[in-house]
Amino acid sequence: MDRLLIISNRLPVSVKKGDGGITIKPSVGGLATGMKTFYKTLDSMWIGWPGIDKQDISPEDEKNIHEQLKQERCEPLYINKRDFELFYYGFSNKTIWPLFHYFPQYTDYHREYWLAYQRVNELFAEKVLSMIREGDYIWIHDYHLLLLPKLIRDRFPNATIGFFNHIPFPSYELFRLLPWREKILEGMLGADLIGFHTYDYERHFNSCVRRLLGHDYVLNRINLGDRIIKVDNFPMGIDYDRFYQAALKIGSIKKEQKTKLQKDIESFFKTAPQRKLILSIDRLDYTKGISNRLYAFRRFLEKYPEYHDKVTLILLAVPSRSKVEQYQIMKREVDELVGHINGKWGNVIWTPVWYFYRSLPFESLIILYYFSDVGLITPVRDGMNLVAKEFIATKTTGKGVLILSEMAGASKEMNEAILINPNNIEAIADSIATALKMNLEEQIERNSKIQERLKRYNVERWANEFLNGMKGIRNYQKQFFTKKITPETIQKILDKYKKSGKNILFLDYNGTLVDTRDKSEYASPDKDLYKILDKLKEDNRNEVVLISSRDRKTLDKWFGDKDYILFAEHGMWGKKEKNNSWIKLNDQLHSAWKKMIRPVLELYVDRTPGSFIEEKSFSLAWHYENTDPDYGLQRAFELKDELTERIINLDLQVVEGNKVVEIKNQEVNKGTAAQKKISDDKYNFILAIGDDWTDEYLFNGLPQYAFTINVGLKHSRAKYYCESYHNVRDLLKEMCKTRK
């Protein structure tokens, strides 16, 4: 595979300067732990902040650091102290982190933070651009670097970029509060693949993109007009075998090799064999619900006195972002609660809560996981939560019960755990009792199911799926690159046109010759368009056919005094010249069904503000372009469903266009109308241009030698695509200049 550049705020190792010189230690944290084993197996390079400031080291140290990091395939990016403060403690952790975790009351919206966030993202972009090579895969991680995908894309358009968000993505109601919301979304959309832990975060993101930027998505692909990107969920796994194997070894470790922690715990069980251990591990963060957990444990001790002296809660909190005020307040609350519980119930032989405020080495972590009977993990909001997965992975005998918050992304894959609402203190207290009473058989059954899943979808698989996702979307995009109309293709069309003696041009109207974003009622032709069409018509080799889904009245209003051939209502009606009357092109059709269907559409108009009905002679259309985008789409799905049931046996079809649901007779379409037209005469040159599903019939109905062009980037039967109606007009103008 090509080279992989991983970019995250922090490197997976952190550099420290002490008396003994420079040391490099692995960083704590979900991402670092998850990716560490994986990235070394690939041809990859990790770019990020090394955890030390350049001002605090000598040039000698810097060289030394560089050398050591090179061994780890890491490239350091130094950020000046002031910017780092504002970027990391400021925008990342006082703006994005609280808002994305549904804590708007903790969210600061300081412009100074935002400016620093932009500056640091720019710094990352410069670093990446100085290293990037053609063919590299760029995988950007997390909420510190939301602007980076676009910054790279702008200057290296061909880059293959993936972005993975490790924290939740909030619903539109929350996200809209952010003053720089559009810039953040645009930044992320610079990627080709955007990944989240769960489907909920994915759909929140898509909805924000649609509501704030107006880009629609179909089947988890967002069409940006010039690029299609993919949004998907990839629930992050753990290095399952590492945890499982480490836990397996614990039982067979020789006495002299045991750590102090293991000896202490074993001797503890010797003196109190009935004692049960409940484990709680997190970074000390307000999103992790640590105080809720302590309130619940307190309630449990109140409600179930029979467990006094028999249960101990191990509360392990890793110091985190201690410079941020909310973290300091929370630390005080946790300290007080622990003191309160131990003071109230503790005695000489029993301490209800063992509280550790520190990071622990891997071996100690495993010992705690392994010896604990219950894992109590109750975040109020958590992107995924790897601790829950690690706890289960160490249950080699199948014994152990996990109590997990349903607000953690991990809960979506761990249904067999006891799932709780972290705000329901009473229910958590009861679930602790349930967990302690659960029989071994049930524990084994529940855990083995989760273990099977964790083993299969481990961190390596997660990363592979993401990388394959990047490759997949890249290949998908390539199909379009080859279809994009180029100056060479235009020249080919013009050459053929110039030589030909008899030409026919089928031109759709809305979205092809004028902008679709105008409200459909107002998208009337402008002077420039008339000028182009008149000029084409002047050339007597040409027949100009305007083939539209609009009704006769509208086309008459716009083109009634022109000599273009007009096809209205998908080719149901035709008109040859201005003084001719409209001819029905299909005599077999009936429209009696409208009486039955119209009331259904009226009901949808009443229930969906902004929507309206358009009646044509052989079809009815429900337009929802002026409605709330999400709501309109949801109603459109419902309407389609309802109509599909009602039209069984009626020779009708329900078709979906650009923000419109239309019911029409099955035989009517632009393809049959165009076929009929070309069978009248012999044409050497055929050009057809359109932009939506109705034009697909047209492209399909024409002979192989026809030039067919779709406006906009999407799967189409057309041979080529161009980006907008401007390109169509430019092509037609060139044709006007090219007379024989």
Contact string (CB under 6 A) for ligand ADQ, positions 225-254, x = contact? -----------x------------------
* By the rule CB under 6 A, 28 interacts with ligand ADQ: yes
Shortest separation between residue 249's beta carbon and ligand ADQ, angstroms = 17
Shortest separation between residue 97's beta carbon and ligand ADQ, angstroms = 9
Shortest separation between residue 377's beta carbon and ligand ADQ, angstroms = 8
Candidate residues 10, 166, 242, 550; the one interacting with ligand ADQ per rule CB under 6 A: 166
Candidate residues 75, 382, 508, 614; the one interacting with ligand ADQ per rule CB under 6 A: 382
* By the rule CB under 6 A, 375 interacts with ligand ADQ: no
Shortest separation between residue 390's beta carbon and ligand ADQ, angstroms = 5
Shortest separation between residue 364's beta carbon and ligand ADQ, angstroms = 8
Please, which residue, 113 or 196, has the CB nearer to ligand ADQ? 196
Shortest separation between residue 14's beta carbon and ligand ADQ, angstroms = 13
Candidate residues 231, 294, 316, 728; the one interacting with ligand ADQ per rule CB under 6 A: 316
Instruction: Report CA torsion sign: 84, 85, 89, 95.
Output: negative
Stretch that binds ligand ADQ, among 386-394, 435-443, 557-565, 654-662 (CB under 6 A): 386-394
Indicate the angle between helix axes 725-737 and 487-499, nearest 10 degrees: 40
Stretch that binds ligand ADQ, among 25-33, 35-43, 246-254, 570-578 (CB under 6 A): 25-33
Stretch that binds ligand ADQ, among 83-91, 252-260, 357-365, 583-591 (CB under 6 A): 357-365
Mention every residue, 6+ apart, whose C-beta is less than 8 A from residue 607: 635
Question: Which residue numbers are catalytic?
Answer: 508
Question: Could you give the 3-state DSSP secondary structure of residue 612?
Answer: strand
Stretch that binds ligand ADQ, among 26-34, 187-195, 508-516, 548-556 (CB under 6 A): 26-34
Site size toward ligand ADQ (CB under 6 A) is 23
* By the rule CB under 6 A, 30 interacts with ligand ADQ: yes
Mention every residue, 6+ apart, whose C-beta is less than 8 A from residue 514: 523, 524, 525, 526, 529, 725
Shortest separation between residue 34's beta carbon and ligand ADQ, angstroms = 6
Shortest separation between residue 197's beta carbon and ligand ADQ, angstroms = 7
Query: What is the per-residue burial (b if ≥16 Cβ within 10 Å, else e) of 561-572?
Result: ebebbbbbbbbb
What tokens were used for 72?
């780890």
**Closest CA relative to residue 674, chosen from 657, 692, 686, 663:** 686
Mention every residue, 6+ apart, whose C-beta is less than 8 A from residue 469: 162, 193, 195, 230, 232, 234
Alpha carbons 733 and 740: distance in angstroms, whole number: 15
Stretch that binds ligand ADQ, among 154-162, 383-391, 664-672, 721-729 (CB under 6 A): 383-391
Please, which residue, 228 or 420, has the CB nearer to ligand ADQ? 420
* By the rule CB under 6 A, 385 interacts with ligand ADQ: yes
**Closest CA relative to residue 111, chosen from 49, 183, 205, 186:** 183
Candidate residues 29, 76, 190, 235; the one interacting with ligand ADQ per rule CB under 6 A: 29
What tokens were used for 119?
């500056």
Alpha carbons 153 and 155: distance in angstroms, whole number: 5
Please, which residue, 317 or 702, has the CB nearer to ligand ADQ? 317
Please, which residue, 387 or 420, has the CB nearer to ligand ADQ? 387
* By the rule CB under 6 A, 383 interacts with ligand ADQ: yes
Q: Which H or E element spans position 139?
A: strand 137-141
Mention every residue, 6+ apart, whose C-beta is less than 8 A from residue 603: none
Alpha carbons 267 and 676: distance in angstroms, whole number: 92
Residue recorded with tokens 């140290």:
61
State in Å, rounded, how far the first CA of the chain is from the last one. Answer: 53
Please, which residue, 186 or 390, has the CB nearer to ligand ADQ? 390
Please check whether residue 268 is in contact with residue 275, taking contact to mean a CB–CB distance below 8 angstroms: yes
* By the rule CB under 6 A, 15 interacts with ligand ADQ: no
Candidate residues 174, 231, 386, 544; the one interacting with ligand ADQ per rule CB under 6 A: 386
Residue ranges of alpha helices (H) inside 539-662 are 552-559, 594-607, 629-646
Query: What is the per-residue burial (b if ≥16 Cβ within 10 Å, else e) of 38-50?
Result: bbeebebbbbbbb
Please, which residue, 170 or 671, has the CB nearer to ligand ADQ? 170
The DSSP secondary structure of 24-60, one letter per residue, reads: EEEPPSHHHHHHHHHHTTSSEEEEEE-SS-GGGS-HH
Shortest separation between residue 384's beta carbon and ligand ADQ, angstroms = 3
Question: Could you give the 3-state DSSP secondary structure of residue 526?
Answer: coil
Please, which residue, 75 or 142, has the CB nearer to ligand ADQ? 142
- In the complex, the residues that contact ligand ADQ under the rule CB under 6 A are 28-31, 33-34, 166-167, 236, 281, 283, 316, 318, 359-360, 365, 382-387, 390
